Structure 1
Amino acid sequence: MELIMETYEKSVAEPEDTMTDQEVIPVQESCALPAACAKPEVQRVWKKEQMELFAVLMTEDRKLVLGGDGRADSPGHSAKYGTYTALELPSNVIIDIQQVQSTECGGSYHMELEGLRRSVAAVEEEGLSIGTIITDRHRQIAKWIRTELPEVQHLYDIWHVAKGISRKLESLAKQKECDAIKPWIRSVVNHLYWSAVSTESGHGDLVAEKWMSVINHIQNVHEGHGDLYPSCSHAALETRADQKKWIQPSTKVAVKVEQIVGRKMLVNDIKKLSGQHQTSCIEAFHSLLKQFAPNMLVFSYLAMQSRVTLAAMHYNENPGRPQAETKEGQLRFKIRYPKFKKGGFTVCKENPHMVSGKYWV
């Protein structure tokens, strides 16, 4: 167990420290050590914890809501390993994690689907029933769930859809006579979130009509949207000096925006947006995973598997942490500047520092 602790401590070291260590220990030896010696014990502890998680979920007498996403060991389309994470969203715990090598499935593009197949098989083998799977818009995965798991509800994470819309609108704003859409981009993306979150699950057509109403709204038309959502929900708008200028109907930018917003494939995907659960927690795990298995380093199959498993156990040790408080007992918040906000900020709850250590007893 001491060896596992040493492996773990080295995994979470700062990148600078890791590189310094490798000046003394050859890379091949530093990768082979945890793979050859620590892997059996790491996998034994993970399997034990996984069975305990399955047992708890069995007692809850409900269908699982799984969030799934893949992470390649290197950017681009030539990754060697892919890690697929299956996270039970209401519980915020990783219940299965699969590592796939590109040679096992005919190329790196197919690794994510293969990882999902294995995770679903592992969960169903234990007698658990899956009710909903939430993923990004991976077309192979969508087809596989539709044909192989017809009884399972497949929904999409909002952020992945919003990211694509934002990119298209930003590209449009750079075109001639189309810069009028630039001040509206954030509002359009926020409207997408509102359309999904404000609608009960199972009412995809209503979500789509709410979304399409943004075309009229940015042209200062707030009624006559559709049968399910005939008029905007906001109160009467007051004229302000800093108010965004309305898009003029039938102009080039208005036509282009309608083509982007109303694209048939996009609207069909928006009908399947998840309003209750998102996969942001998996993105957080992938960020944590960089400390255990940095993309800038190359690992063997066994070493990568051990590091990914350690990261999953570390994540599962810290769900549901209470919000940090000041000495006076007031809840603490902090400001973050996510890269995707491009200089914008977001206010987040501040949690106590992550704990780790129960596996080393």
Structure 2
Amino acid sequence: MKGIAHFISGVTVASFCPWAVETAQNGNPAYFILGAVAGILPDTVDFKFYRFFYSHDIQIEPHPDQLDPQPVADAVAKAVLLAAEGRRTTLKLATIKMDADNWRQYRVRIDPEAGEVRVQFGPIVSTGQVPQPDSLPEPRSVGVAKFNAPILQSCETTYTVDIFDGPSFAFQRNEAGEVDVDFLPWHRNWSHSLTVGLALAGMASIWTWKAGVVIAGAYMVHVIEDQMGHMGSNILFPFTKKRLPGFKMMHSGDAFPNFVGVWFCCLLIFWNIYMAVENPLYHFGFIRLMMYAMVIPFAVFGVLHQLLVRIDGSEPETQTTEWNI
């Protein structure tokens, strides 16, 4: 899920702790802040720190004025072949920055059935990933590189490289002789572990056990939320070395699940604070709150969405980027 969803999830965990609500009522929101920080901490560690220290065996940096897809395809296929020979190989696909707010987009497809890598450069897009008109390169050639190795991919087969920092991969031969394609190997590894969350909670408990409970709950909720996606997490590091595959119920960048999650958390926070008020002006139950504020509005939205899809005739495509797994 997106950062805002993890952030509000951590606040929600804190709202379930009576001492957090009581302390906030007395003017000290420390436990709510602690929950928010712990809720977003795993991604903060990965994206703001750890990825900058992760090394790559092969780094691909296409030149903005020399859009030849073949060297890119050859480099990816080389990484696959090195892994098939028994050497774990890490690879980085750099983005192509055109100017302050524009990037050249390209796509890399690792096709296990065809045994080939296909690369093609696309349009220039803004930082908001909006394609610029008449920006497709001419000629728009396709780079193709063959490899003779069985591939096992836990995520998608096509990767879009456009804005900010490009994606990373780790290729490694497993016990079955297949080459595992590990997407963003520096992400959701040791930082997204229940054991790490418990360790942090244990250290915080030296100060007060109440802080430890908030940190443990917020951290674990983050890991559980991420497990709903495709990539999964290394849940029991250091006892496990690899990420447990996700349940593939959603992509982290999907707007609707993120919005529903954030809205549901807001309702839970409201309810927990409401329950702490001694003499509220208006009385209602939890079921009534959920029906009026969650079930009915989203049911209406679902019906309208289906009607619009039928009129339009197609579902919008989800673009897979390094931030959307």
TM-score by length of 2: 0.26
Instruction: Name the one with the larger strand percent.
Output: 2
Instruction: Name the one with the larger helix percent.
Output: 1
TM-score by length of 1: 0.24
